[in-house]
């Protein structure tokens, strides 16, 4: 029986240390649904979502969901520490509780106490090992394990929050370029000015790199997917979907724009979306509501035409766009349902206002008050261009 207990303790140590290695140190996707990390998130995320969905106020519900990511990280570290503590305690118990207790007590409770004070490097000294070399060796090993776990955790937090910060910077920058939440129609409309094609191409290049960084960081650290943006109407999933929408629109339904960069961005963004959906075992949804029904698609094309975007009006343009959408929307819907994040619409039903509306108005007034020379654009056109760069809502 002591041998079985000893090997049970060794198994606890191995499971905890190997899972921590896969989660923190291994720079690639960890496999297996029976890992501690996977079981932990399966057991805690759905009850957390169930509780959050019963909150009526949207802002309060989003706050509760936003707490889960950082809190789950702390709880996961506590689970690892508890397994290590239990594993060493079982090994001490299998050796016959070889400790001198000042109170004269012996047993599994004392073993747990010694294991706890050792792994957290307290060094109280009220209970000390006795007998042969095995108890002393285990105490030294546990002390080193606790110190190593602390060092790894101290290096783990900066890596996570650095990746989170880099992700959120681009999402915040997208706000003034595509609205909040971002939409493909708004992004195209705000780049319909002279020279806007080059600006949009540059933006897509930046988001191709952003998608690659998202893929690498969130594959290595999937729990970053649970970290939500600071504003309720922003999320990494909505930003990624808006970029995919825009790229699909440029590839299938817009004339004149350089489509090469749109293809590259679409390929990288879709790669990131599909791989992240597979991490959470989210199969693409086929029963989700259509984000862009035919009537809505015609309205989108009309709105883009009014903004000066040269859209394709051939009979197959809507079919080509539907074919592009089928490559990613099912995965986006599955992730949105799992993570309780909203996908952005293709276009707003009404004009919206964001936090840079005042700046756009001031610029419109400046151009209107300073008439250009004959070769320049008339003031009315300048004011109209500035006005097209506005929407009518931003929620902070």
Give the domain ranges of the chain: 2-155, 179-349, 350-396
Q: pLDDT tier at 389 (50, 70, 90 boundaries)? A: very low
For 83-135, write each residue's pLDDT tens digit: 999 999 999 888 887 877 766 677 888 888 888 888 887 776 777 787 778 88
Whole-angstrom distance, CA of residue 388 vs CA of residue 189: 7
Whole-angstrom distance, CA of residue 253 vs CA of residue 188: 12
Whole-angstrom distance, CA of residue 295 vs CA of residue 313: 14
Q: Which residue do the tokens 């496999």 mark?
A: 31
User: What pLDDT shows up at residue 308?
Assistant: 84
User: What pLDDT shows up at residue 395?
Assistant: 39
Closest CA to 160 of 230, 41, 69, 268: 69
Long-range contacts, 324-327 (Cβ 8 Å, 24+): 324/248, 324/251, 324/252, 324/266, 325/245, 325/248, 325/291, 325/292, 327/248, 327/270
User: Is the confidence at residue 392, as pLDDT, over 90?
Assistant: no
User: Is the confidence at residue 27, as pLDDT, over 70?
Assistant: yes
User: Residues 377, 358: contact at Cβ < 8 Å?
Assistant: no
User: Is the confidence at residue 41, as pLDDT, over 80?
Assistant: yes
For 270-309, write each residue's pLDDT tens digit: 999 999 999 999 999 988 899 999 888 888 888 888 888 8
Tell me how far the alpha carbon of residue 146 is from its chain's centroid: 30
Q: pLDDT tier at 352 (50, 70, 90 boundaries)? A: low
- Inter-axis angle of helices 133-178 and 58-94, nearest 10: 160
For 221-249, write each residue's pLDDT tens digit: 999 999 999 888 889 999 999 999 999 99
Separation in Å, CA 32 to CA 22, 36, 119, 281: 11, 10, 28, 11
Whole-angstrom distance, CA of residue 326 vs CA of residue 323: 5
Whole-angstrom distance, CA of residue 124 vs CA of residue 118: 9
User: Is the confidence at residue 45, as pLDDT, over 70?
Assistant: yes
Contacts of 133 (CB under 8 A, 6+ apart): none
Helices (H), the chain: 2-20, 36-53, 58-94, 108-119, 133-178, 184-189, 196-220, 236-253, 259-279, 294-306, 317-325, 329-339, 357-369, 379-388
Separation in Å, CA 296 to CA 126, 149, 245, 303, 308: 74, 54, 14, 10, 19
User: Is the confidence at residue 192, as pLDDT, over 50?
Assistant: yes
Stretch 353-380: mean pLDDT, rounded?
A: 65
């Amino acid at each position: 029986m002591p041998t079985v207990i000893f090997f049970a303790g060794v198994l606890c140590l191995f499971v905890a240390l190997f899972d921590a290695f896969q989660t923190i140190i291994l720079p690639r996707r960890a496999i297996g649904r029976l890992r501690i990390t996977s079981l932990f998130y399966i057991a805690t995320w759905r009850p957390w979502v169930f509780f959050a969905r019963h909150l009526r106020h949207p802002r309060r519900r989003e706050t509760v969901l936003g707490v889960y990511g950082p809190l789950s990280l702390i709880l996961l570290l506590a689970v690892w520490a508890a397994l290590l503590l239990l594993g060493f305690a079982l090994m001490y118990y299998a050796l016959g509780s070889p400790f001198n207790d000042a109170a004269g007590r012996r047993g599994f409770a004392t073993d747990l106490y010694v294991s706890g004070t050792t792994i957290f490097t307290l060094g109280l000294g009220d209970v000390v090992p006795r007998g042969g070399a095995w108890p002393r060796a285990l105490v030294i090993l546990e002390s080193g394990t606790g110190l190593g776990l602390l060092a790894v955790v101290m290096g783990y937090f900066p890596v996570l929050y650095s990746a989170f910060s880099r992700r959120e910077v681009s999402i915040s920058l997208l706000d003034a370029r595509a609205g909040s939440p971002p939409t493909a129609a708004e992004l195209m409309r705000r780049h319909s000015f002279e020279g806007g094609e080059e600006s949009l191409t540059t933006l897509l290049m930046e988001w191709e790199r952003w998608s690659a960084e998202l893929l690498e960081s969130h594959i290595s650290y999937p729990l970053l997917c649970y970290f939500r943006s600071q504003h309720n109407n922003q999320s990494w999933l909505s930003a990624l979907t808006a970029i995919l929408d825009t790229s699909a629109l440029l590839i299938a339904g817009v004339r004149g724009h350089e489509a090469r960069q749109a293809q590259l961005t679409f390929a990288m963004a879709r790669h990131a979306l599909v791989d992240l959906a597979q991490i959470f075992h989210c199969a693409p949804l086929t029963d989700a509501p259509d984000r862009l029904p035919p009537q809505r698609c015609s309205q989108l094309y009309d709105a883009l035409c009014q903004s000066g975007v040269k859209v394709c009006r051939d009979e197959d343009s809507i079919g080509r766009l539907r074919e592009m959408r089928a490559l990613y929307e099912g995965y986006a819907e599955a992730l949105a349902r799992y993570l309780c994040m909203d996908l952005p619409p293709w276009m707003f039903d009404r004009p919206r206002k964001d936090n840079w509306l005042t700046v756009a108005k001031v610029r419109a007034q400046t151009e209107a008050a300073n008439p250009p020379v004959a070769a320049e654009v008339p003031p009315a056109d300048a004011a109209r261009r500035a006005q097209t760069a506005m929407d009518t809502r931003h929620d902070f």
